[in-house]
A and B are shown apart, each in its own frame.
Chain A
Amino acid sequence: MGITTRPVTQPATSIGWRTNRRVHYALKMTVVYLCLAAGGFFVSMPFAWMLSTSLKTLGQTFIFPPIWIPIPLQWANYVKVFEVLPFMRYFINTVYVSGLSVAGILFASSLAGFSFARLRWRGSTILFVVVLSTMMLPPQVTMIPKFILFRILEWIDTYKPLIVPSLFGTGFQIFLFRQFFSTIPREIDEAARMDGCGFVGTYARIILPLSGPAIITGFLFAFRYNWNEFLEPLIYLNTHSKFTLALGLRLFQGEFTTNWPLLMAASTIAMLPVLLTFYFGQRYFIQGVVISGVKG
């Protein structure tokens, strides 16, 4: 496609109330932009500060007022992170735990969501209310008995307490999937049924392939939660080599109390997967917010 540059012509401004209105509008938009710029500046500063610190030498962090662009940039900090602690190990552990948890949550929740959205069975309405009410229940109430249960099962210091409960889905995700599935026209199910497609087939071969956005949204919410989870790993994991990133980061804090460049490099690496998935899945995430009215 060719690009043509056209001279921009300003329509002649008519005098009188229209001008007044234009001035008023321009004034308003100036205020809007100024506010957004100021707000954007403030919320971006912590990220900038984290990046800047991660590229400094330790000595440069004790300069006041702070320097923003250290010369030379200490990219080596990002390598050192992996040398002073088994950071790669923590990263892989976190991928493993959150990967399995997320897969389990998505599978079980989409199954239940399908049942609530598309199938007619006695008790489904009441059970769905129960699903919704579990979203309100604070996890603290079940935390201690769950710990005791997993202790009896001898699951302490394994990944099972972090993964197994996820394999059965969560109330929020079931709600999310039900809402999405309800928007797909019912005629599709009917057509599938005429073609001899069973319920499992309808779920796996008709509804799921149509629900890419729902799966991505569910993934974003579940991934963020499991990637950042701190309390449960803290309770269940004791051996250092089994630590997840959240626990490993704290070791940096303990052993290198003042080594902020390394700590910030490690924090950047730990935040990156969530930032990237949300950046690229932005469209779906916002859709999910609209559908559920929930921030994750």
Chain B
Amino acid sequence: MFKLRYAQLEEIHGWLFVTPWLFGFLAFIVGPMLVSVYLAFTNWDILTPAQMVGFDNFVKLTTGDPLVGQALKVTTIYAGVSIPLQVVLGLILALLLNEKIKAMSFVRTVFYLPSVVAGVAVALLWRWIFSPDFGLLNAGLDLVGIDGPAWLADSRTALSALILMSLWGVGGGMLIVLAGLQGVPTTLYEAAEVDGANSWVRFWNVTLPMISPVILFQTVMGIIGALQVFTEAYVMTEGGPKYATLFYMLYLYQNAFEFLKMGYASALAWVLFAYILLLTLLVLRFSAAWVYYEGVSSKAGQ
């Protein structure tokens, strides 16, 4: 018998405690990812054995299937419009809330509660809000003398409607920015004031640089989220009308579980992964120009 040293015991327990996660990681992430790579090069309908088809799926995806382009277009427009709007509105709201206002926590709750609900219930609620004849939105527009469009039923407005709906969750971004704002040291503002900076200059040269990492983070998470939109498209529009809301994830789901093209859908999944990675890297690359990290001179980061 020999006694284990404390450090050895610690080492063993360290591994022991991450074992559940490690097992899940191997069984439900690494394993499936490897299988997914294989599937992307096959033709498989689940019922008959899979056939290797080489790069056929990727060739078809890039040249022979216009719906892939349409899905990428819809998803990109959604992300490209919704995310900047969410970031800007979230920033404005956070700035307003950061003033010394009365009933601050009540106001904060009002804005953030819509951002915590999600899923089918929300999608159904908004389908009813967008109802062309009896919905809330067109009733409101009617009050100011506007004859509202058919929203989800019209291919020209369906995507805009979903973008508008996404802004309901702006309170989530607001909370993040607000947390960032409250972390900005007041000494910076005092110093700026002593130097004679007015509030606009203070915002531009103190606030914005200090919270730029938060905004970058929000943008990256927004991209990842926006490219995975599924429930809204599936429940509210089923991708229509005329493929105007054919979100990429919806098209992937249809291929896998409605058309039973498991190989093709796997290839689609990897393209989506690559696209998310590409967009994220682009944003990170551009971020060097406008994101300020404390203690790092902007030159050193290049």
Contacts and interface: CB of A to CB of B under 8 A. Distances in A.
B290 interface: no
Interface in B27-43: 27-29, 31-33, 35-36, 39
B115 interface: yes
Contact of A271 (B13, B105, B117, B129): B117
Interface in A20-55: 28-29, 32-33, 35-36, 39-40, 43-47, 49-50, 53
Contacts of A109: 21
Given A36-B96, A43-B114, A229-B119, A286 B139 contact: no
**3 closest cross-chain pairs (CB), A and B:** A168-B24, A121-B14, A228-B119
A252 B249 CA distance: 24
A66 B128 CA distance: 13
Contact of B221 (A224, A227, A294): A294
A219 interface: no
Nearest to B38: A145
Contact of B262 (A124, A144, A270, A290): A144
A230 interface: yes
Interface centre among B17, B25, B256, B272 (most CB of A within 10 A): B17
Given A29-B99, A66-B136, A246-B120, A115 B18 contact: yes
A43 B10 contact: no
A167 B24 contact: yes
- Chain B residues touching A, range: 35 or more
A134 B139 contact: no
Contacts of B119: 227-230, 246, 270
Contact of A111 (B20, B115, B175): B20
B195 interface: no
Interface of B: 7, 9-11, 13-18, 20-25, 27-29, 31-33, 35-36, 39, 46, 92-93, 96-97, 99, 101, 105, 107, 109-111, 113-122, 124-129, 133-134, 136, 139-140, 142-143, 168, 170-173, 175-176, 179, 214, 217, 221, 224, 227-228, 230-231, 234-235, 249, 252-253, 256-257, 262, 265-266, 269-270, 272-273, 276, 280
Contacts of A224: 116, 118
A108 B33 CA distance: 22
A271 B116 CA distance: 9
Nearest to A270: B121
Given A168-B20, A174-B21, A263 B224 contact: no
Interface residues of A, number: 98
Contacts of B256: 143-144, 147
Contacts, number: 265
A43 B125 contact: no
Interface in A68-116: 108-109, 111-112, 114-116
Contacts of A286: 175, 179
Interface in A161-199: 165, 167-169, 174, 199
Given A108-B24, A127-B22, A267-B121, 10 more contacts: A28-B99, A35-B96, A43-B170, A112-B20, A120-B11, A127-B18, A140-B269, A199-B13, A228-B120, A289-B175
